[in-house]
Amino acid sequence: MTEVLTSIEGTGAAESRVSPFRLKPKFAGRIWGKADLKPWYSETGVDGPVGEAWLTGPECVVATGPYTGKTMKQMAEQFPRQLGHGEYPLLVKMLFPSDKLSVQVHPDDDEAKKLGLPRGKTECWCVLEAEPEAKVACGILPGVTRDDLRTAFANGTLEDMLEMVPVKAGDMIYVDAGTVHAIGPGLVLLEVQQTCDVTYRLYDYGRARDLHLEEGLAVVKLKTEAGKIESSAESGFTRLIKTKYFVVDQFVITPGDAFEMPMDGIGCVVGLHGEAAVNGVEFGPGQAVVMPVGSAALSSRHGATVMRCWEPMKEI
């Protein structure tokens, strides 16, 4: 399929329409990560434990088509109307914790704009794998005050004030900005979030990393909407979550099936199981294919499970 299909008119010069393209994951070393990411990835190119695979990060490199070798940042700048007005709006990651992550919090849109950033950081976690006792922390226990939090920061008891949530494979967890949260070991998560990398670390289990207590306390919300989200059956797919920032849908493709899949906003498709293709661009588990607004043919010869992650359309 040809890459340039038509042109998009708007304010400024017309843009050539971009067909779907696959990105190479970008791996990030983390002290809480794993040395072995199999069966998801056989090689990472990183010495030491890897905690995150960024699937749509700005440094991820295009792996298919005429733009092979360009970064996602360069693509978003070259095709602003199709890929996010200079910055791709969704950061999709896979997380591989073998130890507890820090207790942390993120700013919302208004707080981020005060820092000169375009958006805050609301996120969600789809649990792909979970050991029997796996848990995440989502929010503050009822009745906890800001003074309680400040005391807990000082004496190392912050974890005792968190809402601990047991999780299993298939769960979807919503974490709106301002929620104090943490991820425990024994999990593999697919994280979909607003593209913002501001994290205020509140507690880190004695590890020698910087904390951001005052900055974090300034954005903490004592009550949020965070927690498990119930999925809903739609026509041909399962809707896992829908917010104003992102929508995540799961498709189970039977062997030999092919159909048109709409993309009603900027987004991507991520492979979970089996091999699939979008307009002939093949991808497998742990790989993302970026899709501009429109529709594309989703198919699989032997069957696959994929996630569609997209940002609802906004006025531009």
Which residues are catalytically annotated?
201
Q: Which residue shows structure tokens 């067909």?
A: 19
**In contact, 209 and 133? CB cutoff 8 Å:** no
